[in-house]
Amino acid sequence: MRVLISLAAVTVLAFSACENGSRPSSSGGAATPGGTLVISSGGEPDVLFPPLMATSTAHQITELVYDHLADVGPSMNTFGDADFQPALAKSWTWSPDSLSIQFHLDPAAKWHDGQPVRASDVVTTYKIYTDSATGSPTAATLESIDSVTASDSVTVTFWFAKHSPTQFFDAASQMLIIPAHLLKDARGQALRTTSLAQTPVGSGRFRFDSWKAGASAQITADTANYRGRPKLDRVIWAFASDPNTLFTRLLGGEADLLEQISPPEVPQLATHKEIRSAIIDGLDYNFVCFNLRDPANSTRPHPLFADRELRRALTMLVDRKRIVQSVYDSLAAPALGPTVRAYPTTDTTLQQIPYSPETATRILDSLGWRVTGRDSIRRKSGRPLEFTLTVPGPSRNRVNMGVIIQNQLAQAGVKMNIDKLDFGAFIDREKHHAFDAIMGGWHVDPSPGGVRQTWGIAGATEGGSNYGYYMNPIFDARLDSALSSSNPTERRARFKQAYQTIIDDAPAIWLAEPKTLIAIHHRFHTTKLRPDAWWANIADWYVPTGERIARDSVGLRQ
């Protein structure tokens, strides 16, 4: 109960003090640049070369050191170009047929080594991202782009094979522009060994300073940046792999920011008045995914889960609200489907399969699954209603949810075993579809189009990401219709139809949509935090001179 009260207090505090995570500007004090932000970070970057990076910390660092052509706006609307903000491109022009976009680069933009940013850099960047020898994870998101050409030194044109509502997003915000002159025609494996992979040279408002393996990474203000000097002097990521150490660093004042605070830490956080919290919608959702095909032979239907009515009945037995409350407290909401609330295209009035054990029991009885023996397990033709849920052991939340579901299903005579695996083995099972049901989770892109790969027919091939083999052409058709719609109201309605189709089919039990609770020292005045990248506007955060502590006044080394 104490946890609940404290969490509620923190939540109220967060929303009253800082709408959307921002802290209102105080009068004066922000004029003099300065300040050091120390982020207590649980993960280390894998590589700092944008086309190859995969970890969240690598994204945080590189997205502050490099620039996109244009940035996603605070609304996170990726359709059209209305909500985008100029970055490396000062402006852009659409062709009358919308099949090409001409970006006009800021002529004042310079790399951190002093060389000017040129259109040829954008062309080279596109080539590297899409070169199959590079193996960039981002390459698939650039498939709508046919080619990129330089018209002059500061004008670059993106050509598209066909029109799509997210083509501007694909061109402007999927790639971080990298300096061609420092790559010297390197390609493929050689890109991993370039100096840029460890010491990036970008055009962003922060320049890279250092990366000490296992210890820290540091970026400092680019004082002569074409978009203006950042208000902070430096940002440091201090790495630690132990959650207790990460949290203690924040409470002890050695760090200023920690993302992903867990519910048990909230009461202690609430006692530290110098730390405020910001809750932002997340881009993750997790679920129990049913395998619709037999894991022993994928050409055959699954003996249990090929039956839509059985899946719906099992979904009705799971009290998702209670699970989310128990595991996440108020730091998550019940998932709506294969989407997140942060998308402007998500309609939160989607009709969910209700929690109704009575109805579920009736359906199971009608399907022939009845309790016949002393063990209270339902059987049909001698076969018990029993399956195994595979969960990733290191994920405490997913394991806890699995245990509660096991208990709820058992009350209705359904036996669910839990197979806890280390992450490598878990992924291996997912990849080979070797499971009855799996406790999955997706972190989604700022654009909702990725659902085609994870739940559409295209992803149900060998090697695809639709691990449960859910295949419904109606869902795919409605999704395509939504993704090709240019009218925002119509688009939202069509997405709703598509999501409703998959929710009704119940290929998964949609569990939780975790929010991100970021704790930050009160002296930092922040801007609105974007759900997909809370760090996006760090260059505009500041510490008023009157609130600075010793490390804020170190200054920049010359």
Please report, for residues 31, 58, 203, 409, 473, the alpha-carbon distance to residue 222 in angstroms, rounded to integers and kept in the order given.
Answer: 17, 19, 9, 57, 51
483 is a contact residue toward another protein (CB under 8 A): no
- Minimum CB–partner distance for residue 192 and another protein (Å): 6
How is residue 185 written in tokens? 């025609």
E strands, 129-176, in order: 145-152, 155-160
Name which position in 244, 348, 381, 489 contacts another protein (CB under 8 A): 244
Q: Toward another protein, which CB reaches closer, 465 or 485?
A: 465
- Minimum CB–partner distance for residue 32 and another protein (Å): 18
CA atoms in the 13 A half-sphere facing the CB of 467: 23
463 is a contact residue toward another protein (CB under 8 A): yes
C-alpha torsion sign, points 312, 314, 316, 319 = negative
Q: Toward another protein, which CB reaches closer, 202 or 441?
A: 441
Spell out, one character per residue from 194 to 233, where the chain touches another protein: x when CB under 8 A holds, - when not: ---xx-------------xxxxx-x---------------
274 is a contact residue toward another protein (CB under 8 A): no
557 is a contact residue toward another protein (CB under 8 A): yes
Q: Which DSSP string do the residues of 346-407 spell out, in sequence order?
A: --TTPPPPP--HHHHHHHHHHTT-EE-STT--EEETTEE-EEEEEEETT-HHHHHHHHHHHH
425 is a contact residue toward another protein (CB under 8 A): yes
Among the residue ranges 293-301, 401-409, 440-448, 537-545, the one whose residues contact another protein (CB under 8 A): 440-448
Total residues in contact with another protein, by rule CB under 8 A: 68
Considering only CA atoms, which of 243, 237, 331 is closest in space to residue 14?
331
Give the Cα separation of 60 and 430 in Å (integer): 28
Give the Cα separation of 7 and 270 in Å (integer): 8
445 is a contact residue toward another protein (CB under 8 A): yes
Q: Toward another protein, which CB reaches closer, 146 or 422?
A: 422
Considering only CA atoms, which of 287, 339, 345 is closest in space to residue 450?
339
Phi, psi of 103, rounded to the nearest 5 degrees: -100, 135
6 is a contact residue toward another protein (CB under 8 A): no
Name which position in 7, 18, 38, 508 contacts another protein (CB under 8 A): 38
554 is a contact residue toward another protein (CB under 8 A): yes
- Minimum CB–partner distance for residue 481 and another protein (Å): 21
54 is a contact residue toward another protein (CB under 8 A): yes
Name which position in 67, 71, 265, 430 contacts another protein (CB under 8 A): 430
- Minimum CB–partner distance for residue 428 and another protein (Å): 4
454 is a contact residue toward another protein (CB under 8 A): yes
Amino acid in position 103: F
Q: Toward another protein, which CB reaches closer, 155 or 395?
A: 395
Q: Which residues, in sequence order, are CB contacts of 338 under 8 Å at separation 6+? A: 285, 287, 442, 451, 454, 455, 499, 502, 508, 510
| 509 burial level (CB within 10 Å; 0-12, 13-18, 19+) | buried
- Minimum CB–partner distance for residue 376 and another protein (Å): 34
Phi, psi of 324, rounded to the nearest 5 degrees: -65, -40
Give the Cα separation of 50 and 465 in Å (integer): 23
- Minimum CB–partner distance for residue 278 and another protein (Å): 23
Binding residues for another protein, per CB under 8 A? 36, 38, 44, 46-47, 52, 54, 132-133, 135-141, 188-189, 192, 197-198, 212-216, 218, 234, 236, 238-242, 244-245, 248-249, 251-252, 254, 421-431, 441-445, 450, 453-454, 459, 462-465, 551, 554, 557
